[in-house]
Amino acid sequence: MGAEFLAMILIMVYVGAVAVLFLFVVMMLDIDFVELRQGFADYLPLGGLLAFILTVELIVLGASWHVSAKAEGLRQAPISGDTDNLRAISEVLYTDYAFFIEAAGLVLLVAMIGAIVLTNFHKKGIKRQNISAQVARKAEDGVELVDVKPGQGL
């Protein structure tokens, strides 16, 4: 029935959901966006140049695909009929598109490291957990027994 493809898609969807969860965590942090936007105008020409280069590359890639002599044959019969879906998808992904899979993995790794760096930023005035102090704590340090007489209160 081709359920192998469904299993792969479910895995990809759940990995995407975890990535969105990282984004929500970063968005819920108290980040000073005014400070982040101060250098935006300085990098605008470089960002515009990179966006233009990427757009030109995508146009060249799309045009070369439509002009290629093999393109029509690949669109009609990309794989042989005697292999199952999962094997065919994995052969195409890890042979023809191996570089792109590795590049996507590298981009996701950098994004994950960036999210971790953003969440581990220590600001002054915010209480953080100190595990060694919690483990070394004794009951005498945290509990104070007060003998309250009836009718007086604290």
pLDDT exceeds cutoff 70 at 130: yes
What are the tens digits of pLDDT across the range 45-70? 999 999 999 999 989 987 876 666 76
90: how many CB neighbours lie within 10 A of its CB?
A: 13
Asked if pLDDT for residue 78 goes beyond 70, the answer is no
Supply φ then ψ for residue 114, to 5 degrees: -60, -40
- Asked whether the predicted pLDDT for residue 106 surpasses 80, the reply is yes
If pLDDT is split at 50, 70 and 90, which confidence band does 77 have? low
Q: pTM of the predicted model, to two decimals?
A: 0.39
Question: What's residue 43's pLDDT?
Answer: 85
Position 50 scores a pLDDT of 95
Task: Determine phi and psi for 121, rounding to 5 degrees.
Answer: -70, 125
